[in-house]
Amino acid sequence: MEREFSNQVIFITGAAHGQGRATAIAFAKERANIAAFDVAKQIEYPSYTFGNSQELESLKQEVEAIGSECLIFSGDVRDDEAISSAVSETIEKFGRIDVLFNNAGICAYGLSHELTEQAWDAMVDINLKGAWLVARRIIPQMIKQKSGVIISNSSIAGLRGMGRLSHYAASKWGLIGLTKSWAIELAPHNIRALSIHPTGVNTPMNDGLAAMEGATPQEIAERSAGNLLPVPWIEPEDVANAVLFLSSKKSRFVTGSQYVLDAGLLTR
């Protein structure tokens, strides 16, 4: 059956597990083809579990079992060569890229005056510069097509200050500046740009951060008691649904704005 995303292509960073993977599956179910990019190994910082190549392989199989096609790429969003070659291969194979989901990101705790320069650089280079590095290789194709949507996964930390997360919050606020500037530059080409701002999401990142605090994710959620709605966190599929909606014609005139999925947290 023909669906809205039939023959469309979404390029997703940080796709091996968590929100990126859930988004790949959701788009495959809507008949989109997937380009899944992930560092797929442990990197220097932080110490929780990153995606791996078996997860990328199993994502490919899952997408193909649904009936869509899936290219997988192991690469770091800080590595322009890896990005350029993944983008070229995607365009060669599918002829287009309709949606970019800038999702790869890291998070770790630390008081701002105690952070090392290495921690600061990793956070900002992956979460903020990485989004720009990937987008700048995809935007020319979107301009050629005269269509496209760029969605960047920020956080509630992109809309408020957060103690022990200054480098994370700074990188996530930065994505708003980037998003709004893309919206201005790219609107004449019929390309939209948006950021999304989830509360805690039930992913390996959430589990890993809790473990680094010596607590369970449930204990961390209870301590912060942030969400208005009675849930400790939202699911990766909730984020995937938001990305689907924001990529669809139903939101065709939405650009430059911030879509909040916070279970009411910022209203508290």
Ligand X SMILES: NC(=O)c1ccc[n+]([C@@H]2O[C@H](COP(=O)([O-])OP(=O)(O)OC[C@H]3O[C@@H](n4cnc5c(N)ncnc54)[C@H](O)[C@@H]3O)[C@@H](O)[C@H]2O)c1
243 binds ligand X (CB under 6 A): no
Tell me the C-alpha distance between 26 and 236, whole Å.
Answer: 10
Q: Closest Cα to residue 52, out of 61, 44, 42?
A: 42
For the purposes of burial, counting CB atoms within 10 Å of the CB of 97, is it exposed (0-12), middle (13-18) or buried (19 or more)? buried
238 binds ligand X (CB under 6 A): no
16 binds ligand X (CB under 6 A): yes
Number of amino acids touching ligand X (CB under 6 A): 30
Q: How far is CA 184 from CA 180, 192, 250, in A?
A: 6, 9, 21
168 labelled catalytic: yes
- Candidates 23, 206, 247, 255: give the one binding ligand X (CB under 6 A): 206
Q: How far is the CB of 233 from ligand X (least distance, A)?
A: 7
203 binds ligand X (CB under 6 A): yes
Tell me the C-alpha distance between 143 and 215, whole Å.
Answer: 47
Tell me the C-alpha distance between 141 and 193, whole Å.
Answer: 15
Tell me the C-alpha distance between 149 and 9, whole Å.
Answer: 11
- Candidates 23, 90, 103, 255: give the one binding ligand X (CB under 6 A): 103
Q: How far is the CB of 2 from ligand X (least distance, A)?
A: 30
Tell me the C-alpha distance between 43 and 20, whole Å.
Answer: 18
Q: Which of residues 42-61 bind ligand X (CB under 6 A)?
A: 50-51
- Candidates 46, 105, 174, 217: give the one binding ligand X (CB under 6 A): 105
63 binds ligand X (CB under 6 A): no
Sole window of 2-10, 57-65, 89-97, 102-110 interacting with ligand X (rule: CB under 6 A): 102-110
- Candidates 5, 8, 10, 20: give the one binding ligand X (CB under 6 A): 20
Q: How far is the CB of 6 from ligand X (least distance, A)?
A: 26
- Candidates 10, 38, 166, 243: give the one binding ligand X (CB under 6 A): 38
Q: Closest Cα to residue 206, out of 171, 236, 227?
A: 236
Q: Closest Cα to residue 164, out of 212, 96, 201, 99?
A: 212
153 binds ligand X (CB under 6 A): yes
Sole window of 26-34, 135-143, 197-205, 222-230 interacting with ligand X (rule: CB under 6 A): 197-205
Sole window of 58-66, 99-107, 111-119, 140-148 interacting with ligand X (rule: CB under 6 A): 99-107
Q: Residues of 193-224 as b/e, b for ≥16 C-beta within 10 angstroms?
A: bbbbbbbbbbbbbbbbbbeeeeeebeebbeee
Catalytic residues: 168
